[in-house]
Amino acid sequence: MSEPGTESEAASSAHSKHSKRSNSKRSNSKRAATVNDLVKKLHGRLGHEDSLSLTEHLSAAKVLCSIRNRLSNGETLDSKTLIVLLCSGIACHRRWSVGDSGIGGDATEGSARDEAKELKLNDESKELVRGTATRIFVLLCMSERQKKQTSDLQGARAAVATAGLTSVWTQIEPRPKRAKKKKACATEEGTDAAATADAQDAQDAQDAEDGDERREEPSWEVATRLTPGEVARHALTLGVNCLDDEVYTALDGLMSLFYRNASANMAGSMLMPSGDQDFVSLAMATPMNALKGEQRAKKLAALSMAAESEAGQSIMRDFLLSFLLPASHVGVRRTLLLTRASSTQAGVDYPELTTRAHEVAMAGSEWIYANGTNVLERMCCIFAGLAVLTTKGGDDPIRKQDAFLGRLQLPFLETAPPAPEALRITLVPSHQRWVLYRLDARGMPRILCSLTGFDGFCDVALQLVASLR
């Protein structure tokens, strides 16, 4: 017989060994976590659209430190993990731009002192999120430096410096069509007509080339030929060069430019899977064909009339300025109207454009759309009417709510997204294309139509209005 307690001691010993093995396995699994696993964990903390708690943010900060240490020790990220890290940074930057950090709790009703305290907490939360977005950008720069690729720093500096000097309208303005010269006819007998036509074609091409040389473009016009992906690449190149600086001021400035252009490049690739081609889905073909001729004209006129109010005039004025002023001056905003600082500075630096925008707004959207000849001014009438119909809810929605409630995405707007099933319009400036789409159950865009020009914008705007009913 065994002594009393022997069985219990054996069981206890066995349990202890099992616990040690379990702890050892858990420890080994923690040690086995790769840098790619850490990036996925980081994305889980920051990549969602829900409110970001302080606990999640602190956990993400610890993961960031671990990723930095791994990269410093020579570990590398594969291409898929780099995209995940980029998406985490874009989500973090978007959260900072929209102002929906979620850290610090919900606003509570109370005295002015309580509201001021809540506002201060929100500002501090935004700065925390901004710092995290910058640190993710640093990780992307560290990963890029590991590739040890030669880079053109001078070209990158020039591209980044000129990226904000162009206006949105400069990028999407319809180019005038060049008239073709009539080919000379052969008048002498025995003359080869085909040879004469080829010679004339060569002369036309030479004339066009000479004309381009005579019309030498300013330096900032060159930036209009850069795609968002190229601008993001140049910003990343400068970021790599700034890694050894003790102060992150330059990296903090490059961060926003990089994320804006990287997200625009990603959106463009997802919204134009078949390239730069016009597209209308079968589901959208029938309602678009039903709106033709006089009925289409009436609906567009009614849409412009929706902006016949003081609020509509303010929207027309600020949208006209937003398209005409340099991108660096306009900046990025969440609401329909320009910030007070941007509006005041526009009157100082660009008095002629400010006066023009004011005069167009005072003329009224109905009159400008019916009698105007300027494409941008007529387009702003549609913008203003669409804004009045979509931007609703809360106190003073025109000045406080997200522009178009996130349904219309433009280069100078950064808004919270609408419901997944809602129709959305996105402008792809590099291709002058208006894309109408909605998200499917997986969160991927389902393209309904993709059109160019003023008529294309009007078509997608009418379909968006029809979906509001």
Domain regions of the chain by residue span: 29-146, 272-467
Q: What is the pLDDT of residue 211?
A: 43
pLDDT of residue 243: 87
Distance CA 107, CA 96 (A): 17
Q: What DSSP line would sit under 329-343, residue for residue?
A: HH--BSSSSPPHHHH
How far from the centroid of its chain's Cα atoms is residue 67's Cα? 26
Q: Between the CA atoms of 265, 266, 267 and 270, what dihedral angle is there, to the nearest 10 degrees?
A: 120
What length is written for the chain? 469
Asked whether 300 and 382 are in contact (CB, 8 A), the reply is yes
- For residue 261, what is the enclosing H or E element? helix 249-271
Phi, psi of 34 (to 5 degrees): -90, 175
Taking the chain (469 residues) in runs of 10, the rounded mean pLDDT of each run is 46 50 49 83 88 86 93 92 94 84 49 63 81 94 90 88 88 70 42 47 48 42 69 93 77 91 91 88 90 91 95 96 93 92 93 96 95 95 96 89 94 90 93 93 91 94 92
**How many whole angstroms separate alpha carbon 47 and alpha carbon 452?**
32
Predicted local distance difference test score (pLDDT) of residue 113:
62
SS (HEC) of the chain: CCCCCHHHHHHHHHHHHHHHHHHHHHHHHHHCCCHHHHHHHHHHHHCCCCCCCHHHHHHHHHHHHHHHHHHHCCCCCCHHHHHHHHHHHHHHHHHHHHCCCCCCCCCCCCCHHHHHHHHHHHHHHHHHHHHHHHHHHHHHHHHHHHCCCCCCHHHHHHHHHHHCCCCHHHHHCCCCCCCCCCCCCCCCCCCCHHHHHHHHHHHHHHHHHHHHHHCCCCHHHHHHHCCHHHHHHHHHHHHHHCCCCCCCHHHHHHHHHHHHHHHHHHHHHHHCCCCCCCEECHHHHHHHHHCCHHHHHHHHHHHHHCCCCHHHHHHHHHHHHHHHCCHHHHCCECCCCCCHHHHHHHHHHCHHHHHHHHHHHHHCHHHHHHHCCCHHHHHHHHHHHHHHHHCCCCCCHHHHCCHHHHCEECCCECCCCCCCCCCEEEEEHHHCEEEEEEECCCCCEEEEEEEEHHHHHHHHHHHHHHHCC
Q: Could you give the CA distance from residue 425 to residue 408 in angstroms, rounded to a whole number?
A: 5
Chain segment 262-281, per-residue pLDDT in tens: 999 999 889 998 888 999 99
Distance of alpha carbon 166 from alpha carbon 452, whole angstroms = 20
**pTM for the structure as a whole:** 0.77
Instruction: Quote the tokens at residue 414.
Output: 């950064």
Q: What is the pLDDT of residue 166?
A: 86
CA-closest candidate to residue 257, choices 399, 366, 373, 133: 133
**Running DSSP on this structure, what letter comes out for residue 436?**
E
pLDDT at 462: 95
Which among 211, 261, 267 has a CA at the least distance from the CA of 239?
A: 261
Q: Tell me, what's the pLDDT at 280? A: 92
Q: Given the structure tokens 């080919």, which residue do they identify?
A: 183
Alpha-carbon 408 to chain mean position: 11
Model pLDDT, residue 293:
87
Q: How far apart are CA 70 and CA 35, in angstroms?
A: 6
Helices (H) and strands (E) in the chain, counts: 21, 5
pLDDT at 22 (0 to 100): 52
Pairing of strands 433-439, 424-428: antiparallel
